[in-house]
Chain A
Amino acid sequence: MALIQQSSPHAHKARPTSRVMLWVILAVLPGLLAQTLFFGWGNLINVIWCVALAMSTEAAILKMRNKPIGFFLRDNTAAVTGLLLGLSLPQLAPWWVSGVAVITAIVVAKQLYGGLGSNPFNPAMVGYALVLVSFPVAMTTNWAQPATLWAGAPGLSETLSTIFSASQTAIDGWTMATPLDEYKHKIATHTAAEVLQHPTFGDQVARGWEWVNLAFLLGGLILIGLKIITWHVPVAFLAGVGIMSLAFGSNADQYAPLQLHLLAGGTMLGAFFIATDPVSAATSHQGKLIYGACIGILIYLIRTWGNYPDAVAFSVLLMNFAVPFIDHYTPPRTYGHHKSRRGLPSKNGAKS
């Protein structure tokens, strides 16, 4: 009789990383659906292209690093990285822009740092930030105009040929400045009422965008409900944006109003799906609150006084830098101790 020798515990809860990632993928589907319905085929094509490229790049690198390909590909993390890029890049961004973003994310930001779990920066956002600074034209002029799939959006084959053509920019009539961009540039010379006349804003907050954001919010709440993520980062993130907006930007004739900040950009996607990437986020509850809030504050600062109309990528990356520091200073108080042990061990031994 050969008895198995194994150290405790002998029982495990079966929710492996791959399952966690699968839930993340499922939870973004409402958002992707809303994007497709309100902005045409662009995001869907982007997502498929990015995910396929991300997985093949990951496989290639794993082969070069002599790692078991199937074992690592099955964890679904490469797919999630591609997915997040496909969701956040401009709908009509040419294939090579998204391609550069994906390859940077997988090769540089993830694998060169040692693969899953070892990357200090959010891979998708590294890719995004790189193409944003490298191809500013392609990254600002390719946002699809809000036009529903059933009325006005370009057809599937047209969209495909646009994305996979060699040109930097899509056909003029198909694109439109994003609401945040539009507001920021016009408000200097116009009143709020005048700015909001622009078709990008529509009847409610921002045509199409509001639905997309609400759909991502829904997906995010599902993740929290399933305990895939905790509430700390998203809530602190949104609170950070909200408080900054109320404190500094309450005058709509000067600054974009709160509802625009929450529902017109990549806010919800960022709060629930990007900033919550566990690998590059802070770990303790307190740490997550600080991390999320700081991202929210940075987003507001960059959007309002910086050069970029949306700022999720830069804010997340900046806070990724701060994560080790935050982690060192926010450990929980262990049972039986008077206070938590912050910082690093002191030389004279850490007895308490």
Chain B
Amino acid sequence: MSQLWDFSGGIHPPENKIQSTRRPIRTAGIPERLILPLQQHIGVQAEAMVSEGDRVLKGQKIGDVTAGMGVPVHAPTSGIIQAIELRPVPHPSGMSDLCVILQPDGKDEWADLYPVENYQKHDRDEVLQLIRDAGISGMGGAGFPTTIKLRPPRDRKVETLILNGAECEPYITADDMTMRERAAEVVSGMQVMAWILRPSRCVIGIEDNKPEAIAALREAIQGTQIEVSVIPTKYPSGGEKQLVQILTGLEVPSGGIPADIGVMCQNVGTAVAVSRAILEGKPLISRIVTITGDAVQEAGNFDTLLGTPVRALLSEAGLQTNLLNRLVQGGPMMGYTLTTDSVPIVKTSNCVIAATAQELQAPPPEQPCIRCGECAEACPMELLPQQLFWYSKAEEFEKAEHLNLFDCIECGACSYVCPSSIPLVQYYRFAKGEIRTQREEQLKSDRARERFEARQARLEREQQEKEQRRKERAKAAAEAQAKKKAEAEQAAADSEVVDDRSAKAALVQQALERKKAKAAQTKAESSAVQEQPDLETLEKQVTQAEAKLNTMQGMLNEAKAEQADNVDKLERAVAKNHDRVKRAKDALAEARKHVPAEPETPSSE
């Protein structure tokens, strides 16, 4: 057994997993209507490829992303497109989003499938494309497009591929049941990913409270290079950063991603989806969802078509409406409450808890912080939750950031243990939101200022150039005047000595001198007026562009770490800035070539 490491903090909330593991996975029926949000992943919203009245087949692509990051959406069964309209989607804010409404025709007729038996014979990029076309995005929670994740930057070799089967959140058992019943697919999916990434170590991390799943996986990995690593049960061991630490002893650098230290985590459900996409040619059209909570009579796991309304699933599990008090999408630690049961199951929905009022009680009123430090004891990121709370509440965001507010993974362990029942995480979300808004505004005003300054500088430069030219001209004119005068005098003197030859020589001499003066003048002009300031501005441009690139990169990293939804926008911005830096650098190099190797005049700045 390979070595395990511990992470600091952590808690042991009641697991409440038994309720939903008593029954095997059941297949949820085809509901009356499927609601398919066009955005079930992080990135750009897919565009609908069908229109009202179209008949679609099971597995047919109905939406895709043409530009930017994203994955397509497929029809989970055959039927007629009823509408494309705004519907409430599962989101903490309770917002609505564009959805394709599909009315099943009950035939469940498949589109043509193209399984790939020997994917090893294909090109890696082809296989990646298949994974993308199957619409696969991370199924553990955030929904990051799997293809993009499987394509880490070139300089980042993935040494360790981790399959996250920890499932540390109470109540949720979707991964547990998947591993128990679909261990072979979990393993074959992982093998596909391993073939793409060629890591030196493949490990499935799984908490020791899932003995059946462990046994099933141990069986399934026979004859492969994959190891099953049983880790102690402690929330939040399934947090990506914590799992990386437990299995490798390494820490993901702040603001970075596991690929930065040669590690990649994928979810168990994602592995199954990959396996089906490649070996069976089936796109991602269903997933395992845990329906649990005291308000349902038959808690369990359902193999559910994407787009199935939560309401339909709840009634299959025997919802007792009169008992229902709170609907939580996700687990009790990090999930969010649903405002309505009409939202659909999407690629990232792993669990819905229909809780009674006794089960998940309203927290007692917030009391003052007594600085007991329990929150810090529980924090897996080794933050000081109490100070973060203090600064967030006082809106001293700078100090909160200094204490690494943005490293908080919002796991809720601190709130869970707080004896004063302070909703700490809520304060952190507030502070993070405020800081982000402030930053955006700062960026905007910075940009405006930059533009203004650049314009100001340009105008000034033009003014100077004009002035310079004017001076040069005046000087040249004066010189010419003086020369003429001198010539006239000379001529007058010469006229006395009648010597043709010498007169001619003098004339030639003068012409030569004029020419020389002119050449010198143009040169002075060009180097003083053109080349010199140009170099400077170019240099400035390069540094400016680099600085901007850095900030954008920073923001991108952060966004990635939080899997915020503006990642792709930022990515484009970074790419653009890359180009800008490059162009500026090229221009500078070009300009440098033209400058004569003589010492530069000291710049006036």
Q: Which residues of A contact B (CB under 8 A)?
A: 1, 3-13, 15-17, 19-20, 71, 75, 77, 115-118, 230, 278-279, 281, 283-284, 327, 331-337, 341, 344-345, 350-352
Contacts and interface: CB of A to CB of B under 8 A. Distances in A.
A37 to B, nearest CB: 32
Nearest 5 interchain pairs by C-beta: A9-B412, A117-B368, A345-B402, A336-B254, A4-B326
B377 interface: yes
Interface of B: 7-8, 11, 13-14, 92, 170, 241, 245, 251-256, 321, 324-328, 330, 332-341, 353, 355, 360-365, 367-373, 376-377, 380-384, 386-387, 398-399, 401-404, 407, 410, 412, 415-421, 423, 425-426, 429, 554
Contacts of B365: 71
B407 A335 contact: yes
A5 to B, nearest CB: 5
Contact of A279 (B371, B381, B416): B371
A4 B410 CA distance: 20
A194 to B, nearest CB: 47
A117 B371 contact: yes
B425 A335 contact: no
B332 A283 contact: no
A118 B367 CA distance: 12
Contacts of A331: 384, 387, 403
Contacts of B11: 13
Contacts of A77: 370
B243 to A, nearest CB: 12
Contacts of B429: 7
Contact of A8 (B387, B412, B418): B412
A71 B364 CA distance: 11
29 contacts: A1-B321, A6-B326, A6-B337, A7-B425, A7-B429, A10-B355, A11-B14, A11-B332, A12-B415, A12-B421, A13-B11, A15-B419, A17-B367, A19-B419, A75-B367, A77-B370, A116-B367, A230-B373, A278-B370, A278-B372, A279-B371, A283-B373, A284-B376, A334-B254, A335-B380, A335-B381, A336-B252, A336-B254, A336-B381
If over half of B's interface residues share one DSSP class (helix, strand or loop), that class is named, otherwise mixed; here it is: loop
A19 B360 CA distance: 20
A284 B254 CA distance: 21
A66 B567 CA distance: 48
Nearest to B417: A13
A283 B412 contact: no
B589 to A, nearest CB: 30
Given A331-B384, A334-B407, A335-B241, A11 B360 contact: yes
A75 B382 CA distance: 28
A40 B368 CA distance: 38
Contact of B334 (A8, A12, A332, A344): A8
Contact of A335 (B367, B372, B382, B554): B382
Nearest to B322: A1
Contacts of A341: 402-404
A9 B370 contact: no
Nearest to A342: B402
Contacts of A327: 387
A350 B8 CA distance: 24
A13 B370 contact: no
A140 to B, nearest CB: 33
A116 B368 contact: yes
Contacts of B386: 283
Contacts of B369: 117
Contacts of A19: 419
B240 to A, nearest CB: 11
A335 B251 contact: yes
Contacts of A118: 368
A115 B402 CA distance: 28
A86 B170 CA distance: 45
Given A331-B384, A345-B399, A8 B419 contact: no
A8 B339 CA distance: 14
